[in-house]
Amino acid sequence: MSEVFKSKIVKIRKQRSCSWCGEQIEKGHQAHAAAGTFDGDFFSTTMHIECDRSWQTLPHGDEYIDQGMCRGCTCERGNCGCAKNTEAQA
Ligand SMILES: [Zn+2]
Ligand SMILES: [Zn+2]
């Protein structure tokens, strides 16, 4: 079980890696920040806007995010089989 206390769009002041895909979120960019508890442990995440959008499409709540996903989609990292890359370039 997880519970989110705080969820908002922030402007990154210091470069950090995305909790979803592990790629850097550059300083000055917008990102989605959330904090809460997962199985009683406190957690906080920061994700690219497009990564958060992907996260929202999953039936989450029982899965901890661990930088193992593809940026902007729900594929396993390094194994993106969807059309998001071609879409982004179109
Ligand atoms: Zn990301
Ligand atoms: Zn993908």
35 alpha carbon, distance to own chain's centre: 12
User: Which ligand minimizes its atom distance to the CA of 78?
Assistant: 2
The CATH code belonging to domain 2-89 is: 3.30.1740
Identity of the residue numbered 47: M
Residue among 30, 43, 65 nearest 74 (CA): 65
pLDDT of residue 90: 45
User: Which ligand minimizes its atom distance to the CA of 86?
Assistant: 2
| Alpha-carbon gap, residue 4 to 1, rounded angstroms | 10
CA of 70 to the centre of ligand 2 (A): 6
pLDDT of residue 26: 96
| Alpha-carbon gap, residue 32 to 79, rounded angstroms | 24
**For the segment 2-22, what is each residue's pLDDT rounded down to a tens digit?**
787 889 999 999 999 999 999
- Is the pLDDT at 86 greater than 60? The verdict is no
Domain boundaries, the chain: 2-89
**Mean confidence (pLDDT) of the chain:** 85
Q: What is the pTM of this model?
A: 0.79
CA of 46 to the centre of ligand 2 (A): 20
CA of 40 to the centre of ligand 2 (A): 31
Residue 50 burial class via C-beta count within 10 angstroms: exposed 0-12, middle 13-18, buried 19 and up: middle
